[in-house]
Structure 1
Amino acid sequence: MKNRTLFSSFAAFVLALIAPMSASAQTKPNIVFIYADDMGYGDVQCLNPQRGKIKTPSMDMLASEGMLFTDAHTTSSVCTPSRYGLLTGRYNWRTQLQTGVLWGYSEPLIAADRLTVGGLLQQNGYETAMIGKWHLGMTMPTTNGVLPVGRKPKTLNIVWDGKIQNGPTTRGFDYYYGISASLDMAPYVYIENDRFDGEIPQDGKSSTAEGFTRDGVLPEFGRRAAQYISQRDDDKPFFLYVPLNSPHTPIVPTKEWVGKSGLGKYGDFQMQTDATIGQIVDAIDAAGLKQNTLVIVSSDNGCSKAAGIPQLQKQGHYPSAQFRGSKADLWDGGHRVPFIVRWPARVQAGSRCDQTICMTDFMATCADIVNAKLPADAAEDSVSFLPALDSKPIVSTRAGIVNHSISGHFAYRQGKWKLMLAKGSGGWSAPNENAAKNSTQKAQLYDMDADPGETNNLYESRPEVAERLLKQLESDVQGGRSTKGPMAKNDVENIVLWKNQTRRSK
């Protein structure tokens, strides 16, 4: 009995010693960021209950267990630049990429010495992994040192058993499995860490590795993400970034999902996307990690015209909900996106946030969560939205947020006001810039509280507001940063603000 008492006392002593260590480890949440591709604000049922006809039970459930953001924006209305902003906390137009997107064989956009969210979390004790679509460039091994160019090069010079340089594992991720870009641009081959998981013939007749199928990519990403989560333990927090390939083109729901929505293949693919998100969330819950895992679900831009928006609207489904425009545009339908957060240990179930946030803010938020100080030369456009998760006002040194279209046109949002330095959509929706080039209106100004559909242009009637927003935009561009801190430099000397005029910002 005496020995048992001594053992119990010793065990209690040991537990008392290690308890603070365990508590300390548990204070850092696991972080899972699921980034859909071309999913519109109105494609999520709980964000668009009146004009949304696609069933999204997984995301609706996630929102009911967490917080729904109604005014979240990507930095750009197309893929590559919005991903750059998310992972670096810096606006994409500060780089050499002023318009458009990268291709599947493109060189990396993120500089080797730039801190990313993954790198930040690595420095603070996290295991980091990415499973999905990269679309930020990497240096692939070639026979002559020259990378193929374009959406689908006619000939290839890739060394398929060679080592890939400057990929995700050199930009903050311990592990990577995925594809280099979208499924409508070559190459169609999986990559694991810094090696190809397959080979494509060099004759240009095919751009697809043996066994690779486009409709198999989404299920593979979901399976691998769930598997990664199931293999984690409690010793070390993890960050998992899952940029999906859907519902971006090609719109390829698997056989079991075809016809499920009653709205055509886009609706089917969106339902499958929702189910994949549910699969990943279920893996978190099954692993007993629900309470202290921060889950975020969002999209890299609005719904694409390739979804067949007019036909969807005829059937009662509005992918941009009450907002004007879609992917590639400066109107809100191009960059206002779903943003759902679940973190039971901190976020109140069924809560809602109407404060404006930008995708660049993810990095400062992660720094805030792990109590890390960001270096002066990182996350220049990032503001922590952590207070919003506690239903408090976001404290910001940034005056507003900047949005960018596929053609490089700029918009500036501050409070209820939005200034667009474009005559038309700035993107693909009518009227685009070419169609609107003879318009007498120089720019557009909208009161987003009174006019969320951006139908009443106040640029001529409220010149004082337009001028104030323009000056702030010019300051944010010229200073190399939009948050408080030392002057920073853009990667390019001249950034053209007025694409339709001669006025420039340096």
Structure 2
Amino acid sequence: MTTPPFLIALFATIVALEAAPKPNIVYILADDMGYGDVRCLNPERGKIATPHIDRLAEEGMIFTDAHSSSSVCTPTRYGILTGRYNWRTQLQQGVLWGYSAPLIEADRLTVPALLKKQGYKTAMVGKWHLGMDLPVLEGKPIMDGPPDSRKPRQTHIDWKGEIKNGPVDRGFDYLYGISASLDMAPYIWIENDRFVGEADNSKPPQPAPGFVKAQVLPEIGRKTVEYIRKQDASQPFFVYVPLTSPHTPIVPTEEWKGKSGLGSYGDFQMQTDHVIGEIMKAVDASPFADNTLVIVTADNGCSKAAKIDRLEAQGHFPSAQFRGSKADLWDGGHRVPFIVRWPKGVKPGSTSEQTICLTDLMATCAELSGTTVPDGAGEDSVSFAPALKGEPIASSRQGVIHHSISGHFAYRQGKWKLLLAKGSGGWTSPTEKQAAKDAPVAQLYDLEKDPGETNNLYDSHPEVAARLLAQLEADVTSGRSTKGSEAKNDVAEIQLWKSGK
């Protein structure tokens, strides 16, 4: 019996994948860095120098249509590590705090856990912000006051106890980082499942001895460099580097103050670029540089804390040509920088205009490591590996779902974008409370003609709006947006319309 040609080709592909060395993966996630904060992405209206990220783009590929799965921190991080939209969980809006319980369930597959099964070493250096079970003193609650607070009056943490259900229990071999953002206590380093030192339970906002907020960003860079230098070509590694910048508190160190000429935010963004450059140098100096995939992206758009109006008055537009910023449904809230360098697999100076989402990391890592995403995992993840070779992404996902801080939904398919909100759905004016009473209940934009989302076509193109809404409803209720085994959301009902209808 003659073997069919397609089976021969399939077998040859499988053999080639198994024989090829698996790429190392360095995933750097900036915090609140707008699309326009990277000079090469915003050459006409970007005034902050970012030479290291620009060089990464020159040596690799720019994705011009990449989106975080949410326009705020915690939800996006959940999507990155699980390949699943956050609103399928109990977290329907907002973010977690520094003392929050874990959002990722113990039986949920994560990107590092998947890669460990493929023989990878896995590490995380930086900001977690996905909750963990902190040890408490016997018989005490974790804090006095509301059970989930940014600034509790008093805590009852056992600083010598074991932390459970954090990064090292969710697939990472090694952790050096902090529990949440730098504007959320506790302010103390964590290594693996232990605190580094002790903080004062009677003064939760007080950092632990030796913990200096302005030194956290450079320390993340140093620890990442240290980790990379310890690796060799005998075993592939994945290191996830969620930075704390340029998120608040905006604290550039002394040597960076005044560098940008645009104020502290510009200075902090320049320092962020510098730290990314130091990590790149460590990769370049290694014997495995050619087979190391470096990704630089961000969890959402620029924050209002950057004083966007002041920056724009000086000629710098953090969202480039896009409307809105962090927390919003408009593209400025979730269209993010996404730059990839992989000397062995990506053509230098290339660009992809294909739409991708940060939930796509899991399926991409699976393909690059020679496996597939198993049933019951990565329900909203599509591999962008073909795009790295300049090929079309093969996707069973019909579109990408956007989500704002208040839980408002939007749906993107091709050139069309439907927003189930009257205003920004976030912090930019007009907010939902500020929107005119007679405003259309939703928004529809043709992003090819109107990337700035200024001409609402919802009333004039009802058939397009109806088609996108039907697909959004299907993706939400089915528990997944890709083809695969039956899936369920963690909550019985998800409210799509929050501003009417």
Note whether the superposition's TM-score is higher than 0.5: yes
Does 2:149 align with 1:146? no
The answer for the alignment partner of 1:228 in structure 2 is: 227
Amino acid at match of 1:116: T
Aligned-residue identity in percent: 66
Structure 2: distance between partners of 1:401 and 1:351: 23
Residue 337 of structure 1 aligns to a residue whose secondary structure is: coil
Tell me whether 142-151 or 491-500 shows the greater mean CA deviation. Answer: 142-151
Structure 2: distance between partners of 1:74 and 1:492: 22
Q: Which of 35, 45, 60 lines up with 1:66 in the alignment?
A: 60
The answer for the alignment partner of 1:84 in structure 2 is: 78
Kept in 2, the 8 Å contact 1:423–1:439? The answer is no
Amino acid at match of 1:463: P
Structure 2: distance between partners of 1:407 and 1:47: 28
Residue 289 of structure 2 aligns to a residue whose secondary structure is: coil
Residue 50 of structure 1 aligns to a residue whose secondary structure is: coil
What TM-score does the superposition give when structure 2 sets the normalisation length? Answer: 0.95
The answer for the alignment partner of 1:495 in structure 2 is: 494
Residue 336 of structure 2 aligns to a residue whose secondary structure is: strand
Structure 2: distance between partners of 1:205 and 1:364: 40
- Structure-2 change in CA distance of 1:62 and 1:471 (3 Å): same
1:152-231 to structure 2, matched below 5 A, reads: 152-204=151-203, 206-231=205-230
Amino acid at match of 2:391: K
1:247-396 to structure 2, matched below 5 A, reads: 247-396=246-395
Amino acid at match of 1:126: Y
Kept in 1, the 8 Å contact 2:232–2:288? The answer is no
- Structure-2 change in CA distance of 1:468 and 1:272 (3 Å): same
Residue 176 of structure 1 aligns to a residue whose secondary structure is: strand
- Structure-2 change in CA distance of 1:243 and 1:205 (3 Å): closer
The answer for the alignment partner of 1:454 in structure 2 is: 453
Amino acid at match of 1:176: L
Aligned residues: 482
Kept in 2, the 8 Å contact 1:116–1:171? The answer is yes
Amino acid at match of 1:182: S
Structure 2: distance between partners of 1:308 and 1:457: 27
The answer for the alignment partner of 2:10 in structure 1 is: none
Amino acid at match of 2:40: C
Q: How far off is 1:145 after superposition?
A: 5.8
Kept in 1, the 8 Å contact 2:185–2:204? The answer is no
Does 2:118 align with 1:118? no
Q: Point out where structure 2 has 5 or more consecutive residues left out of the alignment.
A: 1-14
Structure 2: distance between partners of 1:24 and 1:494: 43
Residue 125 of structure 2 aligns to a residue whose secondary structure is: strand
Kept in 1, the 8 Å contact 2:122–2:172? The answer is yes
Kept in 2, the 8 Å contact 1:74–1:301? The answer is yes
Q: How far off is 1:25 after superposition?
A: 7.2
Does 2:30 align with 1:31? no
- Structure-2 change in CA distance of 1:238 and 1:145 (3 Å): farther
Structure 1: distance between partners of 2:200 and 2:394: 54
Per-residue CA shift, 1:87-118, capped at 9, x if unaligned?
Answer: 00000100000000000000000010000000
Per-residue CA shift, 1:164-218, capped at 9, x if unaligned?
Answer: 0000000010000000000001010000000000211121364310111100000
Residue 247 of structure 1 aligns to a residue whose secondary structure is: coil
Structure 1: distance between partners of 2:493 and 2:23: 41
Amino acid at match of 1:147: I
Per-residue CA shift, 1:371-425, capped at 9, x if unaligned?
Answer: 2121110000000000000001101000000010000000000000000000100
Structure (1 or 2) with the larger CA radius of gyration: 1
Structure 2: distance between partners of 1:205 and 1:27: 47
The answer for the alignment partner of 2:102 in structure 1 is: 108
Q: Point out where structure 1 has 5 or more consecutive residues left out of the alignment.
A: 1-20
1:234-249 to structure 2, matched below 5 A, reads: 234-249=233-248
Q: How far off is 1:299 after superposition?
A: 0.2
Structure 2: distance between partners of 1:356 and 1:205: 42
- Structure-2 change in CA distance of 1:265 and 1:380 (3 Å): same
Kept in 1, the 8 Å contact 2:214–2:251? The answer is yes
The answer for the alignment partner of 1:4 in structure 2 is: none
Q: How far off is 1:284 after superposition?
A: 0.5
Kept in 2, the 8 Å contact 1:329–1:405? The answer is yes
The answer for the alignment partner of 1:415 in structure 2 is: 414
Q: Which of 126, 131, 143 lines up with 1:132 in the alignment?
A: 126
Kept in 2, the 8 Å contact 1:25–1:235? The answer is no
Structure 2: distance between partners of 1:289 and 1:309: 40
The answer for the alignment partner of 1:53 in structure 2 is: 47
Per-residue CA shift, 1:228-257, capped at 9, x if unaligned?
Answer: 000101111000000000000000000000
Amino acid at match of 1:60: D
Q: How far off is 1:437 after superposition?
A: 6.2
Residue 65 of structure 2 aligns to a residue whose secondary structure is: strand
Kept in 2, the 8 Å contact 1:138–1:166? The answer is yes
Q: How far off is 1:147 after superposition?
A: 2.9
Kept in 2, the 8 Å contact 1:106–1:147? The answer is no
RMSD: 1.4
What TM-score does the superposition give when structure 1 sets the normalisation length? Answer: 0.94
Residue 413 of structure 1 aligns to a residue whose secondary structure is: strand
Structure 2: distance between partners of 1:485 and 1:28: 26
Structure 2: distance between partners of 1:466 and 1:180: 41
- Structure-2 change in CA distance of 1:206 and 1:182 (3 Å): closer
Structure 2: distance between partners of 1:308 and 1:71: 25
The answer for the alignment partner of 2:435 in structure 1 is: 436
Structure 1: distance between partners of 2:248 and 2:204: 21
Residue 323 of structure 1 aligns to a residue whose secondary structure is: coil
Residue 399 of structure 1 aligns to a residue whose secondary structure is: coil
Amino acid at match of 2:380: D
